[in-house]
Amino acid sequence: MTKDGAKGVSLPGNAILLGTLGTVVIFVCLFAMDVETVIGWAKYSSQKAVADISSIRNNQPEKSSSESASVRRDALVNITHDPTCLARTQHLLYRRDPERFQPLPEFDKAWDRYVAMHQSCTQGKNWTQVFLHERNMTVDCNYMIVMEGSGGLGNKLLSLTSAFAYALATDRIVLVESRKHFKDLLCDPFPGSSWYLPEGFPYDNVWGNATRMNVAISKNFTDVDNFVRLSLDHIQTWADGQFFCDHTHNGLAKVRWLAWTSNQYFITRLLMIPRVWERLNPLAKPGQIFTILSHKLLLPNNKLWAHVVRLYFAYLAGSSRRVGVQVRLHGRPNLAEFDPVVYDRILDCLQTNRALPKLREEEDVSDLMSFARNGYEGSTEISVLVTSLQLRYYDEMKDLYVNRPNVNGTVIRFHMVSHLDRQDGSMHQSETAFVEMWLLSFSDVLLISRYSTFGYIPQGIGGIIPSHLNTQTVPPGQENNASSCHPGISTQPCTHFPQKPRCDPGSTGNESHREWMRCHVRECVDHEGGLQLVQESEQPNESARLWGDVLQS
Protein backbone atom coordinates (compact mmCIF):
# COMPACT_ATOMS: atom_id res chain seq x y z
CA MET A 1 0.00 0.00 0.00
CA THR A 2 1.52 3.32 -1.10
CA LYS A 3 1.23 6.63 0.67
CA ASP A 4 -1.85 7.35 -1.42
CA GLY A 5 -3.52 4.07 -0.55
CA ALA A 6 -2.77 2.71 -4.02
CA LYS A 7 -1.42 -0.70 -4.91
CA GLY A 8 0.75 -1.73 -7.84
CA VAL A 9 2.67 -4.67 -9.20
CA SER A 10 4.79 -5.46 -12.22
CA LEU A 11 6.90 -8.16 -13.74
CA PRO A 12 9.60 -9.37 -14.15
CA GLY A 13 11.54 -8.97 -10.90
CA ASN A 14 13.83 -6.17 -12.04
CA ALA A 15 10.83 -4.16 -13.19
CA ILE A 16 9.22 -4.58 -9.77
CA LEU A 17 12.23 -2.89 -8.21
CA LEU A 18 12.16 -0.06 -10.72
CA GLY A 19 8.43 0.46 -10.25
CA THR A 20 8.71 0.54 -6.46
CA LEU A 21 11.61 2.97 -6.41
CA GLY A 22 9.92 5.17 -9.02
CA THR A 23 6.76 5.36 -6.97
CA VAL A 24 8.64 6.35 -3.82
CA VAL A 25 10.60 9.08 -5.62
CA ILE A 26 7.47 10.46 -7.25
CA PHE A 27 5.49 10.62 -4.01
CA VAL A 28 8.39 12.27 -2.17
CA CYS A 29 8.91 14.84 -4.91
CA LEU A 30 5.25 15.64 -5.51
CA PHE A 31 3.74 15.37 -2.05
CA ALA A 32 4.19 19.12 -1.44
CA MET A 33 3.53 20.06 -5.03
CA ASP A 34 3.17 23.77 -5.85
CA VAL A 35 2.20 25.46 -9.11
CA GLU A 36 5.72 25.55 -10.56
CA THR A 37 6.28 21.89 -9.72
CA VAL A 38 3.08 20.80 -11.45
CA ILE A 39 3.99 22.83 -14.54
CA GLY A 40 7.48 21.30 -14.51
CA TRP A 41 6.09 17.79 -14.42
CA ALA A 42 3.68 18.73 -17.19
CA LYS A 43 6.65 19.74 -19.37
CA TYR A 44 8.32 16.42 -18.58
CA SER A 45 5.13 14.64 -19.58
CA SER A 46 5.12 16.52 -22.88
CA GLN A 47 8.66 15.43 -23.69
CA LYS A 48 7.92 11.85 -22.67
CA ALA A 49 4.74 11.78 -24.74
CA VAL A 50 6.66 12.91 -27.82
CA ALA A 51 9.11 10.06 -27.32
CA ASP A 52 6.19 7.63 -27.03
CA ILE A 53 4.06 9.16 -29.77
CA SER A 54 3.98 5.96 -31.84
CA SER A 55 2.60 3.90 -28.96
CA ILE A 56 -0.66 2.02 -29.16
CA ARG A 57 -3.99 3.77 -28.73
CA ASN A 58 -7.07 1.60 -29.00
CA ASN A 59 -4.92 -1.01 -30.77
CA GLN A 60 -4.04 1.46 -33.56
CA PRO A 61 -0.70 3.22 -34.18
CA GLU A 62 -0.62 6.98 -33.77
CA LYS A 63 -1.19 8.89 -37.00
CA SER A 64 0.70 12.05 -36.02
CA SER A 65 4.41 12.27 -36.66
CA SER A 66 6.76 12.71 -33.72
CA GLU A 67 7.94 16.05 -35.08
CA SER A 68 4.48 17.59 -35.52
CA ALA A 69 3.35 16.18 -32.16
CA SER A 70 6.37 17.81 -30.53
CA VAL A 71 5.46 21.20 -31.98
CA ARG A 72 1.86 20.93 -30.79
CA ARG A 73 2.82 19.80 -27.31
CA ASP A 74 5.48 22.49 -26.94
CA ALA A 75 2.77 25.02 -27.77
CA LEU A 76 0.57 23.55 -25.03
CA VAL A 77 3.38 23.60 -22.46
CA ASN A 78 4.31 27.18 -23.19
CA ILE A 79 0.83 28.65 -22.87
CA THR A 80 -0.07 30.58 -19.73
CA HIS A 81 -1.39 28.19 -17.10
CA ASP A 82 -4.18 29.41 -14.84
CA PRO A 83 -2.79 29.04 -11.29
CA THR A 84 -6.33 28.81 -9.89
CA CYS A 85 -7.10 25.73 -12.01
CA LEU A 86 -4.03 23.98 -13.40
CA ALA A 87 -6.07 21.12 -14.87
CA ARG A 88 -7.74 23.57 -17.27
CA THR A 89 -4.79 23.46 -19.65
CA GLN A 90 -2.52 20.77 -18.27
CA HIS A 91 -4.77 17.74 -18.73
CA LEU A 92 -4.18 17.88 -22.48
CA LEU A 93 -0.46 17.32 -21.91
CA TYR A 94 -1.15 13.84 -20.59
CA ARG A 95 -3.19 12.71 -23.60
CA ARG A 96 -1.86 10.87 -26.64
CA ASP A 97 -3.49 13.18 -29.19
CA PRO A 98 -4.56 16.47 -27.60
CA GLU A 99 -5.35 18.08 -30.93
CA ARG A 100 -8.54 16.03 -31.34
CA PHE A 101 -10.03 17.81 -28.31
CA GLN A 102 -9.85 21.23 -29.94
CA PRO A 103 -13.33 22.84 -29.75
CA LEU A 104 -14.97 24.29 -32.83
CA PRO A 105 -14.53 28.06 -33.25
CA GLU A 106 -18.30 28.39 -32.80
CA PHE A 107 -18.04 26.83 -29.35
CA ASP A 108 -15.19 29.12 -28.32
CA LYS A 109 -17.27 32.15 -29.32
CA ALA A 110 -20.33 30.87 -27.46
CA TRP A 111 -18.24 30.08 -24.38
CA ASP A 112 -16.58 33.50 -24.32
CA ARG A 113 -19.98 35.13 -24.70
CA TYR A 114 -21.40 33.08 -21.83
CA VAL A 115 -18.45 33.85 -19.56
CA ALA A 116 -18.91 37.57 -20.17
CA MET A 117 -22.66 37.26 -19.56
CA HIS A 118 -22.07 35.30 -16.33
CA GLN A 119 -19.65 37.93 -15.06
CA SER A 120 -22.03 40.76 -15.92
CA CYS A 121 -25.04 39.08 -14.26
CA THR A 122 -23.29 38.00 -11.05
CA GLN A 123 -20.98 40.89 -10.25
CA GLY A 124 -21.57 42.48 -6.87
CA LYS A 125 -24.66 40.40 -6.08
CA ASN A 126 -25.75 39.51 -2.54
CA TRP A 127 -27.54 36.32 -3.56
CA THR A 128 -29.50 35.90 -0.37
CA GLN A 129 -30.85 39.44 -0.67
CA VAL A 130 -31.59 39.01 -4.37
CA PHE A 131 -33.32 35.66 -3.91
CA LEU A 132 -35.48 36.62 -0.95
CA HIS A 133 -36.34 40.23 -1.77
CA GLU A 134 -35.36 41.20 -5.32
CA ARG A 135 -36.21 38.16 -7.44
CA ASN A 136 -38.89 40.00 -9.42
CA MET A 137 -36.52 42.87 -10.13
CA THR A 138 -33.88 40.85 -12.04
CA VAL A 139 -35.02 42.10 -15.44
CA ASP A 140 -31.76 41.89 -17.40
CA CYS A 141 -30.69 38.30 -16.63
CA ASN A 142 -32.30 34.88 -16.30
CA TYR A 143 -30.99 32.46 -13.68
CA MET A 144 -31.06 28.76 -12.89
CA ILE A 145 -30.16 27.35 -9.47
CA VAL A 146 -28.67 23.86 -9.79
CA MET A 147 -29.22 21.73 -6.71
CA GLU A 148 -26.88 18.77 -6.26
CA GLY A 149 -29.01 15.72 -7.02
CA SER A 150 -29.18 12.22 -5.59
CA GLY A 151 -27.20 9.15 -6.61
CA GLY A 152 -23.48 8.60 -6.95
CA LEU A 153 -20.91 11.11 -8.13
CA GLY A 154 -21.28 10.03 -11.76
CA ASN A 155 -25.00 10.84 -11.73
CA LYS A 156 -24.36 14.22 -10.11
CA LEU A 157 -21.67 15.26 -12.59
CA LEU A 158 -23.76 14.15 -15.57
CA SER A 159 -26.74 16.12 -14.26
CA LEU A 160 -24.60 19.22 -13.68
CA THR A 161 -23.30 19.08 -17.25
CA SER A 162 -26.83 18.63 -18.59
CA ALA A 163 -28.05 21.64 -16.61
CA PHE A 164 -25.28 23.80 -18.02
CA ALA A 165 -25.98 22.65 -21.59
CA TYR A 166 -29.58 23.79 -21.16
CA ALA A 167 -28.47 27.10 -19.63
CA LEU A 168 -26.05 27.68 -22.50
CA ALA A 169 -28.83 27.07 -25.03
CA THR A 170 -31.29 29.38 -23.26
CA ASP A 171 -28.99 32.15 -21.96
CA ARG A 172 -29.48 31.36 -18.29
CA ILE A 173 -26.92 32.08 -15.60
CA VAL A 174 -26.07 28.90 -13.70
CA LEU A 175 -25.78 29.20 -9.92
CA VAL A 176 -24.63 26.01 -8.19
CA GLU A 177 -25.36 24.76 -4.69
CA SER A 178 -22.22 24.92 -2.56
CA ARG A 179 -23.31 22.96 0.53
CA LYS A 180 -22.35 19.48 -0.67
CA HIS A 181 -19.53 18.11 -2.83
CA PHE A 182 -19.22 20.13 -6.04
CA LYS A 183 -17.38 23.09 -4.49
CA ASP A 184 -14.72 20.84 -2.94
CA LEU A 185 -14.15 18.87 -6.16
CA LEU A 186 -14.37 21.23 -9.11
CA CYS A 187 -12.61 24.31 -10.35
CA ASP A 188 -14.80 27.36 -10.82
CA PRO A 189 -15.21 27.37 -14.61
CA PHE A 190 -15.62 31.11 -15.23
CA PRO A 191 -12.70 33.52 -14.89
CA GLY A 192 -13.78 36.65 -13.09
CA SER A 193 -16.98 35.24 -11.57
CA SER A 194 -18.14 32.25 -9.56
CA TRP A 195 -21.05 29.94 -10.22
CA TYR A 196 -21.28 28.91 -6.55
CA LEU A 197 -23.93 30.31 -4.26
CA PRO A 198 -22.74 31.16 -0.74
CA GLU A 199 -22.95 28.52 1.96
CA GLY A 200 -25.39 30.68 3.90
CA PHE A 201 -27.82 30.89 1.00
CA PRO A 202 -31.41 29.96 2.00
CA TYR A 203 -31.41 26.67 0.11
CA ASP A 204 -34.33 25.32 2.10
CA ASN A 205 -36.51 28.02 0.57
CA VAL A 206 -35.70 26.99 -3.01
CA TRP A 207 -38.22 24.16 -3.29
CA GLY A 208 -40.65 25.85 -0.94
CA ASN A 209 -40.79 29.05 -3.00
CA ALA A 210 -40.59 27.59 -6.50
CA THR A 211 -43.77 26.90 -8.47
CA ARG A 212 -44.22 23.28 -9.53
CA MET A 213 -44.42 22.57 -13.25
CA ASN A 214 -48.03 21.37 -13.13
CA VAL A 215 -49.10 24.65 -11.56
CA ALA A 216 -46.94 26.70 -13.94
CA ILE A 217 -48.41 24.90 -16.97
CA SER A 218 -51.97 25.42 -15.72
CA LYS A 219 -51.24 29.16 -15.37
CA ASN A 220 -49.46 29.34 -18.74
CA PHE A 221 -46.31 30.34 -16.83
CA THR A 222 -47.81 33.63 -15.64
CA ASP A 223 -48.35 34.60 -12.02
CA VAL A 224 -45.70 32.10 -10.87
CA ASP A 225 -43.60 34.58 -8.87
CA ASN A 226 -40.86 34.35 -11.53
CA PHE A 227 -39.68 31.02 -10.13
CA VAL A 228 -40.35 27.46 -11.42
CA ARG A 229 -38.82 24.18 -10.30
CA LEU A 230 -37.64 21.42 -12.66
CA SER A 231 -37.58 17.97 -11.06
CA LEU A 232 -35.89 15.84 -13.70
CA ASP A 233 -35.06 12.57 -11.98
CA HIS A 234 -35.40 9.19 -13.68
CA ILE A 235 -39.05 9.03 -12.60
CA GLN A 236 -41.01 12.14 -13.53
CA THR A 237 -44.56 13.42 -13.31
CA TRP A 238 -46.49 14.19 -16.48
CA ALA A 239 -45.90 17.89 -15.93
CA ASP A 240 -42.15 17.58 -15.39
CA GLY A 241 -41.91 15.44 -18.52
CA GLN A 242 -43.37 18.32 -20.52
CA PHE A 243 -39.98 20.00 -20.11
CA PHE A 244 -38.86 17.87 -23.08
CA CYS A 245 -41.55 19.33 -25.37
CA ASP A 246 -40.53 22.28 -27.50
CA HIS A 247 -43.71 24.26 -26.86
CA THR A 248 -43.09 24.23 -23.08
CA HIS A 249 -40.08 26.47 -23.55
CA ASN A 250 -42.27 29.30 -24.82
CA GLY A 251 -43.58 29.49 -21.27
CA LEU A 252 -40.29 28.82 -19.47
CA ALA A 253 -38.69 31.70 -21.40
CA LYS A 254 -41.00 34.07 -19.48
CA VAL A 255 -39.69 32.89 -16.10
CA ARG A 256 -36.64 34.69 -14.70
CA TRP A 257 -35.63 32.02 -12.17
CA LEU A 258 -35.57 28.22 -12.49
CA ALA A 259 -34.46 25.57 -10.00
CA TRP A 260 -33.00 22.37 -11.42
CA THR A 261 -32.55 19.04 -9.69
CA SER A 262 -31.83 15.75 -11.41
CA ASN A 263 -29.93 12.48 -11.09
CA GLN A 264 -29.71 11.89 -14.84
CA TYR A 265 -27.81 12.76 -18.00
CA PHE A 266 -30.11 14.54 -20.45
CA ILE A 267 -27.96 16.18 -23.13
CA THR A 268 -29.04 13.56 -25.69
CA ARG A 269 -32.69 14.31 -24.95
CA LEU A 270 -32.13 18.08 -24.84
CA LEU A 271 -30.84 17.95 -28.41
CA MET A 272 -34.11 16.36 -29.45
CA ILE A 273 -35.89 19.62 -28.46
CA PRO A 274 -35.82 21.68 -31.71
CA ARG A 275 -35.02 25.08 -30.20
CA VAL A 276 -32.28 23.65 -27.97
CA TRP A 277 -30.82 21.77 -30.93
CA GLU A 278 -30.73 24.98 -32.98
CA ARG A 279 -28.53 26.61 -30.33
CA LEU A 280 -26.28 23.69 -29.35
CA ASN A 281 -25.80 21.72 -32.57
CA PRO A 282 -23.54 24.29 -34.28
CA LEU A 283 -21.21 24.37 -31.26
CA ALA A 284 -19.89 20.78 -31.28
CA LYS A 285 -19.98 17.55 -33.20
CA PRO A 286 -22.57 15.11 -31.81
CA GLY A 287 -19.82 12.77 -30.62
CA GLN A 288 -17.99 15.54 -28.77
CA ILE A 289 -20.46 17.76 -26.93
CA PHE A 290 -20.14 16.16 -23.49
CA THR A 291 -16.37 15.86 -23.96
CA ILE A 292 -15.98 19.55 -24.77
CA LEU A 293 -18.28 20.64 -21.93
CA SER A 294 -16.55 18.35 -19.43
CA HIS A 295 -13.21 19.97 -20.23
CA LYS A 296 -14.73 23.27 -19.14
CA LEU A 297 -16.93 22.20 -16.23
CA LEU A 298 -15.61 18.97 -14.67
CA LEU A 299 -12.02 20.00 -13.93
CA PRO A 300 -10.53 18.88 -10.60
CA ASN A 301 -9.34 21.62 -8.28
CA ASN A 302 -5.59 22.00 -7.74
CA LYS A 303 -5.50 19.74 -4.70
CA LEU A 304 -7.13 16.84 -6.56
CA TRP A 305 -5.25 17.59 -9.79
CA ALA A 306 -1.94 17.24 -7.94
CA HIS A 307 -3.16 13.85 -6.72
CA VAL A 308 -4.06 12.85 -10.30
CA VAL A 309 -0.61 13.90 -11.51
CA ARG A 310 1.16 11.93 -8.77
CA LEU A 311 -0.74 8.78 -9.65
CA TYR A 312 -0.33 9.35 -13.38
CA PHE A 313 3.45 9.38 -13.08
CA ALA A 314 3.48 6.51 -10.62
CA TYR A 315 1.26 4.22 -12.68
CA LEU A 316 0.61 5.33 -16.27
CA ALA A 317 3.47 7.47 -17.60
CA GLY A 318 5.69 5.75 -20.16
CA SER A 319 3.40 2.78 -20.79
CA SER A 320 2.89 1.70 -24.37
CA ARG A 321 -0.73 0.93 -23.57
CA ARG A 322 -2.96 2.13 -20.76
CA VAL A 323 -5.87 -0.15 -19.98
CA GLY A 324 -8.67 1.05 -17.71
CA VAL A 325 -11.07 -1.40 -16.03
CA GLN A 326 -14.07 -0.12 -14.06
CA VAL A 327 -16.21 -2.65 -12.16
CA ARG A 328 -19.55 -1.83 -10.54
CA LEU A 329 -22.31 -4.41 -10.01
CA HIS A 330 -25.54 -2.49 -10.44
CA GLY A 331 -28.74 -4.11 -9.32
CA ARG A 332 -27.02 -6.19 -6.65
CA PRO A 333 -27.74 -5.92 -2.91
CA ASN A 334 -23.99 -5.49 -2.41
CA LEU A 335 -22.39 -3.25 -5.03
CA ALA A 336 -18.93 -4.29 -3.80
CA GLU A 337 -19.31 -8.07 -3.91
CA PHE A 338 -16.88 -10.26 -5.83
CA ASP A 339 -18.62 -12.18 -8.61
CA PRO A 340 -16.39 -14.88 -10.15
CA VAL A 341 -18.53 -14.90 -13.30
CA VAL A 342 -17.95 -11.18 -13.79
CA TYR A 343 -14.23 -11.66 -13.11
CA ASP A 344 -14.06 -14.33 -15.84
CA ARG A 345 -15.86 -11.97 -18.22
CA ILE A 346 -13.33 -9.22 -17.53
CA LEU A 347 -10.46 -11.50 -18.50
CA ASP A 348 -12.27 -12.88 -21.52
CA CYS A 349 -13.14 -9.41 -22.79
CA LEU A 350 -9.65 -7.98 -22.34
CA GLN A 351 -7.93 -10.98 -23.89
CA THR A 352 -10.39 -11.48 -26.76
CA ASN A 353 -10.08 -7.83 -27.72
CA ARG A 354 -6.27 -8.00 -27.36
CA ALA A 355 -6.10 -5.38 -24.66
CA LEU A 356 -4.15 -7.97 -22.64
CA PRO A 357 -2.18 -10.93 -23.99
CA LYS A 358 -3.35 -14.45 -23.31
CA LEU A 359 -1.43 -16.70 -20.93
CA ARG A 360 0.75 -19.75 -21.44
CA GLU A 361 1.01 -22.80 -19.24
CA GLU A 362 4.80 -23.06 -19.44
CA GLU A 363 7.66 -20.60 -19.37
CA ASP A 364 9.34 -19.65 -22.64
CA VAL A 365 13.13 -19.65 -22.28
CA SER A 366 13.40 -17.03 -25.04
CA ASP A 367 11.48 -14.55 -22.87
CA LEU A 368 13.91 -15.01 -20.03
CA MET A 369 16.85 -14.62 -22.41
CA SER A 370 15.32 -11.42 -23.80
CA PHE A 371 14.90 -9.99 -20.31
CA ALA A 372 18.49 -10.96 -19.50
CA ARG A 373 19.83 -9.26 -22.65
CA ASN A 374 17.62 -6.18 -22.80
CA GLY A 375 16.37 -5.76 -19.24
CA TYR A 376 13.21 -3.87 -18.45
CA GLU A 377 13.74 -1.22 -21.14
CA GLY A 378 13.62 -3.79 -23.93
CA SER A 379 10.05 -4.95 -23.21
CA THR A 380 6.66 -3.60 -24.10
CA GLU A 381 4.74 -2.41 -21.06
CA ILE A 382 1.02 -2.36 -20.41
CA SER A 383 -0.36 -0.51 -17.39
CA VAL A 384 -3.75 -1.73 -16.13
CA LEU A 385 -5.70 0.51 -13.77
CA VAL A 386 -8.51 -1.30 -11.95
CA THR A 387 -11.20 0.75 -10.20
CA SER A 388 -13.71 -1.07 -8.03
CA LEU A 389 -15.15 -1.06 -4.54
CA GLN A 390 -13.91 -4.67 -4.34
CA LEU A 391 -10.16 -5.35 -3.97
CA ARG A 392 -10.35 -8.94 -5.15
CA TYR A 393 -10.81 -8.10 -8.87
CA TYR A 394 -7.43 -6.40 -8.82
CA ASP A 395 -5.76 -9.08 -6.69
CA GLU A 396 -6.98 -11.95 -8.87
CA MET A 397 -5.86 -10.31 -12.13
CA LYS A 398 -2.50 -9.29 -10.72
CA ASP A 399 -1.78 -12.73 -9.27
CA LEU A 400 -2.80 -14.46 -12.48
CA TYR A 401 -0.38 -12.45 -14.63
CA VAL A 402 2.42 -12.57 -12.08
CA ASN A 403 2.28 -16.34 -11.70
CA ARG A 404 1.94 -17.31 -15.36
CA PRO A 405 3.80 -16.18 -18.50
CA ASN A 406 1.90 -14.38 -21.25
CA VAL A 407 2.23 -15.24 -24.94
CA ASN A 408 3.92 -11.95 -25.86
CA GLY A 409 6.41 -11.77 -23.02
CA THR A 410 4.94 -8.37 -22.24
CA VAL A 411 5.65 -6.53 -19.01
CA ILE A 412 2.27 -5.80 -17.41
CA ARG A 413 1.69 -3.60 -14.37
CA PHE A 414 -1.54 -3.67 -12.37
CA HIS A 415 -2.63 -0.76 -10.20
CA MET A 416 -5.52 0.14 -7.94
CA VAL A 417 -6.09 3.49 -6.24
CA SER A 418 -8.71 2.44 -3.68
CA HIS A 419 -11.06 -0.32 -2.56
CA LEU A 420 -13.58 1.26 -0.23
CA ASP A 421 -15.84 -1.82 0.04
CA ARG A 422 -19.07 0.17 -0.05
CA GLN A 423 -20.62 3.28 -1.53
CA ASP A 424 -21.29 5.68 1.31
CA GLY A 425 -21.58 9.07 -0.39
CA SER A 426 -18.88 10.61 1.82
CA MET A 427 -16.67 13.50 0.73
CA HIS A 428 -13.62 11.24 0.89
CA GLN A 429 -15.27 8.73 -1.42
CA SER A 430 -16.28 11.45 -3.87
CA GLU A 431 -12.73 12.80 -3.97
CA THR A 432 -11.31 9.33 -4.54
CA ALA A 433 -13.87 8.53 -7.22
CA PHE A 434 -13.18 11.80 -9.05
CA VAL A 435 -9.44 11.13 -9.09
CA GLU A 436 -10.08 7.62 -10.44
CA MET A 437 -12.41 8.96 -13.13
CA TRP A 438 -9.73 11.32 -14.36
CA LEU A 439 -7.05 8.64 -14.33
CA LEU A 440 -9.31 6.31 -16.33
CA SER A 441 -9.85 9.10 -18.86
CA PHE A 442 -6.19 8.75 -19.91
CA SER A 443 -6.77 5.13 -20.97
CA ASP A 444 -6.08 3.88 -24.47
CA VAL A 445 -8.48 0.98 -23.93
CA LEU A 446 -11.40 1.29 -21.52
CA LEU A 447 -13.69 -1.43 -20.17
CA ILE A 448 -16.58 -0.07 -18.09
CA SER A 449 -19.50 -1.77 -16.43
CA ARG A 450 -22.81 -1.61 -18.26
CA TYR A 451 -25.20 1.07 -17.02
CA SER A 452 -22.46 2.71 -14.92
CA THR A 453 -22.52 6.50 -14.73
CA PHE A 454 -19.12 6.29 -13.00
CA GLY A 455 -17.75 4.78 -16.21
CA TYR A 456 -19.45 7.34 -18.45
CA ILE A 457 -17.40 10.19 -16.94
CA PRO A 458 -13.92 8.94 -18.03
CA GLN A 459 -15.41 7.71 -21.29
CA GLY A 460 -16.65 11.21 -22.06
CA ILE A 461 -13.73 13.21 -20.66
CA GLY A 462 -11.24 11.05 -22.53
CA GLY A 463 -13.29 10.84 -25.74
CA ILE A 464 -13.00 7.04 -25.59
CA ILE A 465 -15.31 4.50 -27.20
CA PRO A 466 -15.35 1.85 -24.45
CA SER A 467 -16.35 -1.75 -24.22
CA HIS A 468 -19.25 -2.41 -21.86
CA LEU A 469 -18.73 -5.20 -19.33
CA ASN A 470 -21.71 -7.51 -18.93
CA THR A 471 -22.38 -7.58 -15.19
CA GLN A 472 -25.84 -9.10 -15.39
CA THR A 473 -26.59 -12.28 -13.51
CA VAL A 474 -27.69 -15.32 -15.53
CA PRO A 475 -29.42 -18.57 -14.50
CA PRO A 476 -27.08 -21.35 -13.31
CA GLY A 477 -25.68 -23.36 -16.18
CA GLN A 478 -26.13 -20.57 -18.74
CA GLU A 479 -23.03 -18.56 -17.88
CA ASN A 480 -21.28 -19.54 -21.11
CA ASN A 481 -24.16 -18.27 -23.23
CA ALA A 482 -23.79 -14.65 -22.12
CA SER A 483 -21.40 -12.27 -23.88
CA SER A 484 -18.53 -11.02 -21.75
CA CYS A 485 -18.74 -7.48 -23.10
CA HIS A 486 -20.18 -5.43 -25.92
CA PRO A 487 -18.33 -2.90 -28.08
CA GLY A 488 -19.49 0.66 -27.55
CA ILE A 489 -20.79 2.89 -30.32
CA SER A 490 -19.95 6.32 -28.91
CA THR A 491 -17.69 8.37 -26.71
CA GLN A 492 -20.76 10.05 -25.20
CA PRO A 493 -22.71 8.98 -22.09
CA CYS A 494 -26.03 7.18 -22.29
CA THR A 495 -29.26 8.92 -21.37
CA HIS A 496 -30.84 6.08 -19.42
CA PHE A 497 -34.38 7.42 -19.21
CA PRO A 498 -35.00 9.73 -22.19
CA GLN A 499 -38.70 10.34 -21.32
CA LYS A 500 -41.55 10.03 -23.81
CA PRO A 501 -43.92 12.96 -23.22
CA ARG A 502 -46.86 13.65 -25.48
CA CYS A 503 -46.08 16.97 -27.10
CA ASP A 504 -48.06 19.33 -29.31
CA PRO A 505 -47.94 18.29 -32.98
CA GLY A 506 -46.09 21.49 -33.84
CA SER A 507 -43.23 20.61 -31.45
CA THR A 508 -41.55 18.04 -33.69
CA GLY A 509 -39.12 20.38 -35.43
CA ASN A 510 -38.20 20.63 -39.09
CA GLU A 511 -36.90 17.99 -41.50
CA SER A 512 -33.23 18.91 -41.00
CA HIS A 513 -33.60 18.31 -37.26
CA ARG A 514 -35.35 14.99 -37.82
CA GLU A 515 -32.64 13.93 -40.27
CA TRP A 516 -29.96 14.88 -37.75
CA MET A 517 -31.65 12.66 -35.15
CA ARG A 518 -31.85 9.76 -37.60
CA CYS A 519 -28.11 10.05 -38.15
CA HIS A 520 -26.85 10.78 -34.66
CA VAL A 521 -29.16 9.31 -32.00
CA ARG A 522 -29.06 5.58 -31.25
CA GLU A 523 -30.18 3.20 -28.55
CA CYS A 524 -27.49 2.61 -25.95
CA VAL A 525 -25.53 -0.62 -26.16
CA ASP A 526 -25.56 -1.07 -22.40
CA HIS A 527 -29.14 -0.09 -21.54
CA GLU A 528 -32.24 -1.03 -23.51
CA GLY A 529 -34.41 2.03 -24.01
CA GLY A 530 -31.59 4.50 -23.37
CA LEU A 531 -30.33 6.92 -26.01
CA GLN A 532 -26.91 8.31 -26.84
CA LEU A 533 -25.30 10.57 -29.40
CA VAL A 534 -23.02 9.07 -32.03
CA GLN A 535 -20.85 10.30 -34.84
CA GLU A 536 -21.61 8.55 -38.12
CA SER A 537 -18.01 7.33 -38.07
CA GLU A 538 -18.58 5.87 -34.58
CA GLN A 539 -21.24 3.35 -35.60
CA PRO A 540 -19.68 -0.12 -35.89
CA ASN A 541 -22.94 -1.57 -34.55
CA GLU A 542 -25.52 -0.83 -37.23
CA SER A 543 -28.05 -3.05 -35.44
CA ALA A 544 -28.47 -0.36 -32.74
CA ARG A 545 -32.08 0.83 -32.83
CA LEU A 546 -32.91 4.31 -34.07
CA TRP A 547 -34.30 6.91 -31.66
CA GLY A 548 -37.80 6.69 -33.11
CA ASP A 549 -37.99 2.95 -32.49
CA VAL A 550 -36.88 3.45 -28.87
CA LEU A 551 -39.34 6.23 -28.03
CA GLN A 552 -42.26 4.38 -29.63
CA SER A 553 -41.58 1.09 -27.84
pLDDT in tens, 171-218: 999 999 999 999 999 999 998 899 999 989 999 999 888 999 999 999
Intervals of CATH 3.40.50.11350 along the chain: 302-476
Residue 494: φ, ψ to 5°: -90, 135
Directed axis angle between helix 340-352 and helix 391-403, to 10°? 50
Residue 508 scores a pLDDT above 50 = yes
- pLDDT, average across residues 248-255: 95
Q: Is the dihedral of CA 421, 427, 428, 433 positive or negative?
A: positive
- pLDDT, average across residues 49-67: 41
**Better-predicted residue by pLDDT, 410 or 544:** 410
Residue 167 scores a pLDDT above 90 = yes
Q: Is the dihedral of CA 416, 421, 427, 433 positive or negative?
A: positive
Local confidence band at 331 (pLDDT 50, 70, 90 cut-offs): confident
pLDDT at site 63:
41
CB atoms within 10 A of CB 130: 16
Residue 547 scores a pLDDT above 70 = no
Residue 407 scores a pLDDT above 80 = yes
pLDDT at site 543:
46
- pLDDT, average across residues 397-417: 94
Share of the chain above pLDDT 70, in %: 79
The verdict on domain 302-476 having CATH code 3.30.930.10 is: no
Q: What is the mean pLDDT of the chain?
A: 85
CA 389 remoteness from chain centre: 18
- pLDDT, average across residues 14-31: 36
> Please, which residues bridge with residue 261 across strands?
231
pLDDT at site 1:
40
Residue 438 scores a pLDDT above 80 = yes
Residue 31 scores a pLDDT above 60 = no
CA distance 148 to 179: 9
Residue 544 scores a pLDDT above 80 = no
pLDDT at site 23:
37
Residue 471 scores a pLDDT above 80 = yes
User: If residue 487 lies in a helix (H) or strand (E), which one and from where to where?
Assistant: strand 485-487
- pLDDT, average across residues 116-142: 91
Helices then strands (H, E): number in the chain?
A: 23, 15
Q: Which residues contact 203 (CB under 8 A, 6 or more apart)?
A: 147, 177, 179, 197
Give the lowest-confidence range in 32-36, 199-203, 396-400: 32-36
Q: Which of 420-429, 466-475, 512-521 has the highest mean pLDDT?
A: 512-521
pTM of the entire predicted model: 0.87
Residue 35 scores a pLDDT above 90 = no
- pLDDT, average across residues 433-452: 97
Q: Which residues contact 383 (CB under 8 A, 6 or more apart)?
A: 315, 316, 319, 321, 322, 323, 412, 413, 415
Residue 488: φ, ψ to 5°: -75, 170
- pLDDT, average across residues 370-380: 64
Share of the chain above pLDDT 90, in %: 68
pLDDT at site 321:
97
Residue 256 scores a pLDDT above 60 = yes
pLDDT at site 183:
96
Residue 500 scores a pLDDT above 50 = yes
pLDDT at site 137:
82
Residue 154 scores a pLDDT above 80 = yes
CA distance 434 to 421: 17
**Better-predicted residue by pLDDT, 53 or 529:** 529
- pLDDT, average across residues 277-290: 96
pLDDT at site 65:
47
CA distance 543 to 522: 10
User: Burial of 428 by CB count in 10 Å (0-12 exposed, 13-18 middle, 19+ buried)?
Assistant: exposed
